[in-house]
Amino acid sequence: MKDNIRVALVQPKPYPSFDDPRNLGHALLLLEKCRGEELDLIVFPEYFPYHGDKEIAAAARQLNTYVVVGLVETEGGRNYNTATLFDRSGRLLGRQRKNNVTSLERNEVGIFPGDGSYRVFTADFGKIGMPVCVDLWGQPEAAKQLTEFGADLLVNISIFPILRGHSRIGTLVRAFDNFMPVVGVNTADYNALINNRRIHQHGGHSFVIHPPRMLDKHDFRRWVRSLDVIDDWVRVELDDLEQIHVAEVNLSTARRFRKEFWERLGFRRTAVL
């Protein structure tokens, strides 16, 4: 496991239709721009590139990195909105289906909700949870469960016709409750075309959130005694435009001090530590 990982937040401007095949080509071009960065993880947003398991797997293998993409999985005649994870060898490591599916997704895109479960997936740098969009910042259960399952990092892929501004606040709360690093990735600002209707997707503001680095228990105790606001947990926040941003994400502080943080605040919590 690593104390710090290098993560590329890929905030693309998609073509208007979610399932436009050009989105896959665009995703592959953006992946190519990550070459040479020695990354541990690349994260794309929800519904991007929508399809392309084989192509994304090949790119993950060529770049020697883990990749999270927004793909639609079809099983038993039903479509599911998933965060899909490929490992450094291009192997499909797992999918997390979205459980809280919006009326727009159900009625206009034909998406079915998952079965309500959440899983962690083991990478060489730690364990990843991947709750999709509102599953993370809308309600506390997913983050709580994934923390208790031993997650070292939560990856939240999203797309926003509404509530982009609230997602940052909600995610800060989840990060605080669980003393957990979070990488959240949105599309750039654009107008989606859904059933011949243009729906504005409030783009940008992808982020990295995690507690400050602390070296030892004395450092932690000094920090927690002075704790007031946690705005400085937002380590990265992008603008509205298409871009790739490489960030260093610290995993060690949460691993080392989560239990003590909960004890200090009286949180009655359990987790695999």
d(CA 173, CA 255): 18
pLDDT tens across 171-198, in order? 999 999 999 999 999 999 999 999 889 9
pLDDT tens across 35-89, in order? 999 999 999 999 999 999 999 999 999 999 999 999 999 999 999 999 999 999 9
Instruction: Calculate the alpha carbon distances from 65 to 14, 42, 169, 172, 251 in Å.
Output: 23, 7, 30, 27, 17
The mean-pLDDT minimum among 81-95, 125-139, 146-160, 190-204 falls in 190-204
Q: Which amino acid is at 48?
A: F
Which residue, chain included where needed, has tokens 């909700």? 113
Q: Which two tokens stand for residue 100?
A: 């809280």
Q: What local confidence, expressed as pLDDT, does residue 1 receive?
A: 83
d(CA 190, CA 42): 21
Q: What angle do CA 142, 147, 150 make, to 5 degrees?
A: 130
Give the list of residues 6+ apart from residue 198 with CB closer than 8 angstroms, or none: 16, 191, 192
Q: CA nearest 89: which of 57, 121, 56?
A: 57
- Entry pTM: 0.97
Structural domains in the chain?
Answer: 4-265 (3.60.110.10)
Q: What is the DSSP string of 19-40?
A: T-THHHHHHHHHHHTTTTS--S
**Burial annotation 109-134 (CB, 10 A radius, 16+ → b, else e):** bebbbbeeebbbbebebbbbbbbbbb
